[in-house]
Structure 1
Amino acid sequence: MIAFACRLPRDGFTLDAAFEAGSGVTALFGPSGSGKSTVIRLFAGLERPEAGRIRIGDATLLDTAAGLCMAPHRRRIGLVFQDALLFPHLSVRANLTYGRFFAPARERRIAFDPVVEVLGIGHLLGRRPATLSGGERQRMAIGRALLTSPRLLLMDEPLAALDTERKHEILPFIELLRDAFGIPIIYVSHAVEEVARLATRVVRLEQGRVVASGSPAEVLAPASLAEASSRFDAVSVLAAPVSRFMPDYGVTLLDHPAGQIVVPGRIEAPGAVRVIIRATHVALSVGHPGHVSIRTVLRGRVVALETDAGPFALVTVRLEGGDRLRAYATRLATDALGLAVGDEVQALVKAVAIDAHDLAGARPAAD
């Protein structure tokens, strides 16, 4: 169990946050300046709070009341930043093994070969960082952090400097290391799809304070218009197992209790897949939608409908099976439909709006 509670005043800003986290990935999410990177620095011991306590399992890293502040090099925390921060004069192998010197021999529980295998960097070991792609360098940085055998891995916007293709390359490796090594991860990102895909738990920060904590489905979908920092960041997370691949059309069908979800490409998954759907990509229909091109039609009932003086309405639909799906619509549309709480509706989602790379628990399969 990880426990964090710290207060750190600064000019015009005070971090005063507390949360707990377990295994898997805990994502720190929120706008710029909300304190996410400050939390990372406090965990690492790069800053000291005015008051606070930080524990990882049985180890107390910080307890200002007791006068305890463990030195950064003794905390056994792995760090991965936007910039890989590699030694340019060393080979990939030498960069990877450099981190092992910071872990006492008796505590080196993560071996070299499994890390190289999971990250797929065996063919790079003799090369120098300058000859690698951005994605390869970031995989190398992750490997170096893992080989310190850390108690905790901190990842501060690790994909922010990469293009979309490189991000899609790295995300499966982060999932693999999360599952293969059992090291808890604190993950900072502005990208809602990254957070929804990777996180076991999400902690939302605003102005230095924790305003929400829970599963991605609970935290990333705003409960009200007032909570929505941007309608384009509002997502819903649905869980559904793979039904079958339709080779003639190049799509995979997922079996959700409310209806089938159509996903582009061939997807394989051993269990349920987490599908990330933006609220701006959902359309609503009262009654059967008729002749439309959209194939994902999910049955549900309106449980909340909120409007304000602006042009939009935020509609919450409880789907058959219990999942909640948020949809943004114009007030013009909701009034024209006569939409009200309690109405049965069909929620329509375009398949082209779902990115197979953002499905948690799934792997795009080779043809």
Structure 2
Amino acid sequence: MSLKINIRHQAGTLDLQAQFKVEQPGITALFGPSGSGKTTLINAIAGLIKPDSGTLTINDSTVFDSATKTHMSPRKRRVGYVFQDARLFPHLTVRKNLFFAHRRATNRLPENQVDAIIAMLGIGDLLSRRPAKLSGGERQRVSLGRALLGNPDILLLDEPLSALDQARKEEILPYLEALRDQRRLPILYVSHSIDEVARLADHIVVMDKGRVRASGSVFDILARTDLAPLTGQFDAGAVIPATVTGHDPKGGISYLGCAGHQLIVPLLPSANTTTTHASTIPQQTRLHIRARDVMIATSIPDGISANNILPATIAALTPVGTGNIEAALHLGHAAKGRILTTPVIQARITNWSALRLSLEVGQQVYAVIKSVTVDGKLRDTDA
């Protein structure tokens, strides 16, 4: 499954010029400030607007080509679209909303897959209700189900959590994770929340003023200090892979391994609370460590509550904003002249702190991270 985009479109003051590829299943986040062209782009992919020029290809099928005057209708594109406000038919039950798309699909899903999607989204008990009787989170889950039952080649999610409060967001996020890990199809996820992107996305396309400013894996893009103005200066940080090694339910913590080092995080939600070892649960996780939550010490601190004190080597020191420095830290101590390939975390400190500690690139230091500030989410081992 693949998506290839090379289009230009003028919409008011927005001059959209987008060119990138999505060539594997998983979630690709379209991320950027309001007005950067994210929604305009996915509307073009869905066929809701006709670009001024360029080409759009879904699964080797050209759905738009200005040179040949090709513009396939939205229905023929096999695109699933979930809007911010769910847009369910208010006069239909949940069951009829779901099967509205299923009945019109050009390639209908078999009954066992329909049942699996309903079970995955936890909406089996809602089938007889009407949308007015659903919570915001339930409506979005039904909207996801309706899109999936259309058996799309690609799924477009336009800020599906933006209209929900934090409690409803936490309700639906696990279902989006299940969707990512269980359904093997490309997903474009529009968001302006760095926390959502760090938790859900495999790849990121960063947009600003109608242009693609950067694209790549979530691990690489969120580690780039030069993108801080676009990725959100005060929420920027790193996403790094780790392996679950154990749990301590009594202490309320989980143990993770990353690049040969142990990290302690709050007890993972899916942890087996009857055992302290990790053999019975998924092993892989990703961590979102915010730059603002990392301190730098030039020697191992003593007598502090922070559980994570990791050896690190300064890879870069970059001025950010007024009076701040973004320090890129490779995990581990590198001998002089040796280049590390370990994961990079970010630390945001003041200029004064950098001067006071005489920090410089290549210096061996310690990254101090409070356990409660680290976001860790389990992922299936085959995801």
TM range (shorter): over 0.9
Q: Is the contact between residue 204 and residue 213 of structure 1 (CA under 8 Å) also seen in structure 2?
A: yes
Among 347, 350, 355, the residue aligned to 2:367: 347
Give the TM-score, by structure 2 length: 0.89
Give the TM-score, by structure 1 length: 0.93
Summarize the Cα distance change of 1:162–1:291 in structure 2 as closer, same or farther, 3 Å threshold: same
Deviations 1:308-351 (A, max 9, x none): 68210111111136101111000111111111111111111111
Q: Is the contact between residue 287 and residue 375 of structure 2 (CA under 8 Å) also seen in structure 1?
A: no
Tell me by how many angstroms 1:271 deviates: 2.7
Tell me by how many angstroms 1:306 deviates: 1.9
Gaps of 5+ in 2: 272-280, 333-340
Aligned-partner residue type, residue 17 of structure 2: D
Summarize the Cα distance change of 1:229–1:114 in structure 2 as closer, same or farther, 3 Å threshold: closer
Q: Is the contact between residue 54 and residue 66 of structure 2 (CA under 8 Å) also seen in structure 1?
A: yes
Show the 5 A alignment for 1:28-67.
Answer: 28-67=30-69
Tell me by how many angstroms 1:230 deviates: 3.5
Q: Is the contact between residue 224 and residue 314 of structure 1 (CA under 8 Å) also seen in structure 2?
A: no
Summarize the Cα distance change of 1:201–1:136 in structure 2 as closer, same or farther, 3 Å threshold: same
Q: Is the contact between residue 78 and residue 154 of structure 2 (CA under 8 Å) also seen in structure 1?
A: yes
Please tell me whether residue 68 in structure 1 is matched to residue 70 in structure 2.
yes
Show the 5 A alignment for 1:265-280.
Answer: 265-266=267-268, 267-268=270-271, 269-280=281-292
Tell me by how many angstroms 1:228 deviates: 5.5
Aligned to 1:6: 7
Aligned-partner residue type, residue 235 of structure 2: D
Tell me by how many angstroms 1:108 deviates: 3.6
Q: Is the contact between residue 98 and residue 146 of structure 2 (CA under 8 Å) also seen in structure 1?
A: yes
Gaps of 5+ in 1: none
Please tell me whether residue 170 in structure 1 is matched to residue 159 in structure 2.
no
Q: Is the contact between residue 258 and residue 299 of structure 1 (CA under 8 Å) also seen in structure 2?
A: no
Aligned to 2:305: 293
Summarize the Cα distance change of 1:309–1:186 in structure 2 as closer, same or farther, 3 Å threshold: closer
CA distance in 1 between counterparts of 2:77 and 2:310 reads 48
Tell me by how many angstroms 1:107 deviates: 4.3
Please tell me whether residue 328 in structure 1 is matched to residue 345 in structure 2.
no
CA distance in 2 between counterparts of 1:74 and 1:298 reads 53
Q: Is the contact between residue 225 and residue 306 of structure 1 (CA under 8 Å) also seen in structure 2?
A: no
Aligned-partner residue type, residue 303 of structure 1: A
Residue aligned with 1:218, SS: helix
Summarize the Cα distance change of 1:224–1:177 in structure 2 as closer, same or farther, 3 Å threshold: closer
Residue aligned with 1:231, SS: coil
Q: Is the contact between residue 214 and residue 221 of structure 2 (CA under 8 Å) also seen in structure 1?
A: yes
Aligned-partner residue type, residue 365 of structure 2: V
Deviates more, 1:264-273 or 1:281-290: 264-273
Q: Is the contact between residue 239 and residue 286 of structure 2 (CA under 8 Å) also seen in structure 1?
A: yes
Summarize the Cα distance change of 1:11–1:88 in structure 2 as closer, same or farther, 3 Å threshold: closer
Summarize the Cα distance change of 1:353–1:82 in structure 2 as closer, same or farther, 3 Å threshold: same
Summarize the Cα distance change of 1:345–1:101 in structure 2 as closer, same or farther, 3 Å threshold: same
CA distance in 2 between counterparts of 1:122 and 1:260 reads 41
Tell me by how many angstroms 1:213 deviates: 0.5
Show the 5 A alignment for 1:39-188.
Answer: 39-104=41-106, 106-108=107-109, 111-188=113-190
Tell me by how many angstroms 1:227 deviates: 4.8
Aligned-partner residue type, residue 186 of structure 1: L
Tell me by how many angstroms 1:112 deviates: 2.1
Aligned to 2:318: 306
Aligned-partner residue type, residue 360 of structure 2: A
Show the 5 A alignment for 1:193-342.
Answer: 193-224=195-226, 227=229, 230-257=232-259, 259-266=261-268, 267-268=270-271, 269-307=281-319, 310-320=322-332, 322-342=342-362
CA distance in 1 between counterparts of 2:287 and 2:302 reads 25
Tell me by how many angstroms 1:221 deviates: 2.7
